[in-house]
Each structure stands twice: as C-alpha cells, then as structure tokens.
C-alpha cells in the first residue's frame, strides 16, 4: 500500500507573502529529510522562487496555469511520475479550497494549512470578496497578516478571523520582520456563569457555536433564548428542534441551526416555524436529531413568542 503523503497548504491572495514564506521554508536545512517534494504552484506573482537556494535537495516545481488543471488525474500523474513523498502547495487565492480537496489523491494527507494576507488590503478584500476570505480562513491553523503597521487596529483584523473560526493562531508580522501573536481574548456576549444564561436574539449564533464546540462546559447549566421551532419525522416524539437561521459567510450559506429540546409536556402542539422562548437545562444524550450524541435541552419553561426583528443572525 502507498504510504501517506504529507501536504503543506499555503493559502492567500496574490502578493500576500506565500512565495517568500515557502522559499524560506525550503531553504531551512531542517526541511531536508530526504523526501522527494512536489512544489505545486497555482499562481505566480512578482516574487519568484530561487531553487538554487533551496536546502531541500529533491524538489520538483510544477505550475498549474488554470483551475481546469487541478484534477485528480493530474495530481495522481504527478505523484507517480516524480515518486512524490511530500507536497508543498502555493494555492491560488481566487480558487475555492473545496476544489483542491476534491482533486486530492487518497494518499495525500493534509499536514498543515497556513493563510497569508497583506494587512494593507485585507479589510478591503473582506468587504468586497467575503466568500474568498472566509474560504481561506475556515480550516486554517494559522493566519499571518504581513506588512502590518502600528497604526492598524488589531481588533479589526481579529474580529474578522474570529467571526469565521476560533481555531487558528493569528500572527501580525510588521514591516521590518517583527512578529507578534494575537493575544486578544474573546469574551462571549453573554455570561456563561450566570444562574440562567440569557441569550439575546442577536447573539444566538455565538451561543450556537460555543455550545456545539464546548458542550462539556455547558452540561448542567440553564439557558434562556428565543428560537424558531422545527418539527419533522426525524425529530423524536416529545422533542422539537429550536434554533435560528445563521449566516456564516454570505447569503448563499445561510442555514438553519438549532438544538434538540425535550418539551416535557410544557406546551401544546408545536409546528415548524413557530417562535418559542425556552428556559432549559443542558445535557448530552443520544438523539436522532444528531444521528448520535449531542446537546439536548431539557425544558423547564416554554412560551410562545414573537419573531425577532432580524430573521437571520451572524457572528458579527
């Protein structure tokens, strides 16, 4: 059986610093492990590679001229032709990440993802090309803001990243080479230690993600919020799903997200799209809503409620 091939994926827009970082990485003697490396370049900017300075001996550079060349067949051919053991990818900032995942041979395994942005243009990109920014941050392990300046407000950059994912480290690299890790704390917009955690309508997206990611920390706590009900054959008798429509990136990705709520006979027949206010204790159970185990809210009080002013909530 073919051994796994580690893939190092470097994301970002043109002139964001990807080439410079990869060049320095391949100049590092510690990277010379004897593995035959494919340097897969999906876009070429002003900065060019200097292979003569690589300390990694076995590097084959291949440039893809268009997204149409990014196919499973082409990547498998390259793997076999050059007997590849490691892959370093400079990905095109205008190509969606899913296209790369769809083209990956089975033997390729993502080892690391890093994303680079030019700090001087990032906020403008986020405003005008939000989907592409979201795409490059959602699964990354580190976001590097190059060409950062002292007059920039770190919180503006921090909020964009954390609105997409709390996973990556954030690094601000200043002109001149100084680098700082982001140490801004992210307090929730509600008190998680209150006797009853009260979730305002606008804050449901943050509550949904925090509870989904840190379920164990919420077990036994009581929460109060308003949501839209969903009822279907998949939802067990005596339960409803209560949630909101959440926009993560843009209008195209709006989805209904909610939690299983055990009604405990506290309300009469509930129909899909009914708005309810619930006070409930959080536990974890196996439930068909999750096709396995997940957070279940045991209702202590349920009341019918008016729909909020904003039908869709976001992480902003």
Give the model confidence (pLDDT) of 235-283 as tens digits: 999 999 999 999 876 677 789 999 999 999 999 899 999 999 999 999 9
Closest CA to 88 of 3, 31, 9, 4: 9
Give the model confidence (pLDDT) of 7-43 as tens digits: 999 999 999 999 999 999 999 999 888 899 999 999 9
Q: Which residues contact 204 (CB under 8 A, 6 or more apart)?
A: 225, 227, 243, 244, 246, 313
Instruction: Indicate the pLDDT class of residue 316, thresholds 50, 70 and 90.
Output: low
Helix or strand run (H / E) with residue 115:
strand 108-118
Query: Has residue 168 got a pLDDT over 70?
Result: yes
Reading the block at residue 82, the tokens are: 């050059």
Whole-angstrom CA distances from 192 to 209, 223, 258, 316 are: 13, 9, 18, 19
The pLDDT score that the predictor gives to residue 54 is: 93
Quote the distance between the C-alpha of residue 105 and its chain's center. Answer: 23
Average pLDDT, the chain: 93
Query: Has residue 186 got a pLDDT over 90?
Result: no
Buried b (16+ CB within 10 A) or exposed e, 167-204: bbebbbbbeeeeeeebeeeeeeebeeeeeebebeeebb
Query: Has residue 139 got a pLDDT over 70?
Result: yes
- Looking at residues 166-182, what average pLDDT do you find? 92
């Amino acid at each position: 059986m073919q051994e796994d091939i580690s893939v190092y994926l470097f994301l970002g827009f043109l002139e964001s610093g990807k080439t410079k970082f990869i060049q320095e990485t391949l100049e590092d003697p510690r990277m010379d492990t004897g593995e035959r490396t494919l340097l897969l370049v999906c876009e070429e900017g002003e900065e060019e590679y200097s292979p003569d300075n690589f300390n990694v001996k076995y590097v084959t550079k291949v440039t893809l001229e268009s997204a149409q060349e990014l196919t499973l067949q082409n990547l498998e051919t390259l793997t076999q032709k050059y007997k590849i053991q490691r892959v370093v990818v400079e990905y095109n900032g205008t190509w969606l990440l899913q296209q790369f995942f769809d083209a990956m041979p089975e033997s390729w395994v993502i080892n690391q993802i890093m994303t680079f942005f030019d700090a001087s243009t990032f906020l403008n990109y986020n405003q005008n090309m939000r989907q592409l920014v979201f795409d490059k941050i959602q699964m990354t392990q580190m976001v590097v803001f190059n060409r950062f300046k002292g007059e920039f407000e770190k919180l503006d950059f921090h909020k964009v990243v954390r609105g997409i994912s709390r996973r990556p480290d954030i690094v601000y690299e200043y002109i001149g080479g100084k680098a700082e890790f982001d140490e801004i704390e992210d307090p929730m917009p509600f008190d998680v230690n209150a006797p009853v955690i009260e979730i305002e309508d606008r804050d449901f997206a943050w509550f949904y993600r925090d509870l989904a990611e840190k379920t164990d920390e919420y077990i036994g706590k009581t929460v109060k919020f308003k949501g839209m009900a969903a009822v279907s054959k998949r939802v067990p008798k005596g339960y409803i799903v209560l949630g909101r429509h959440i926009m993560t990136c843009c209008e195209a990705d709006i989805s209904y997200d909610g939690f299983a709520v055990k009604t405990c006979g506290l309300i009469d027949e509930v129909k899909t799209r009914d708005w309810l206010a619930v006070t409930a204790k959080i536990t974890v159970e196996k439930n068909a809503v999750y096709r396995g185990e997940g957070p279940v809210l045991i209702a202590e009080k349920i009341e019918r409620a008016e729909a909020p002013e904003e039908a869709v909530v976001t992480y902003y």
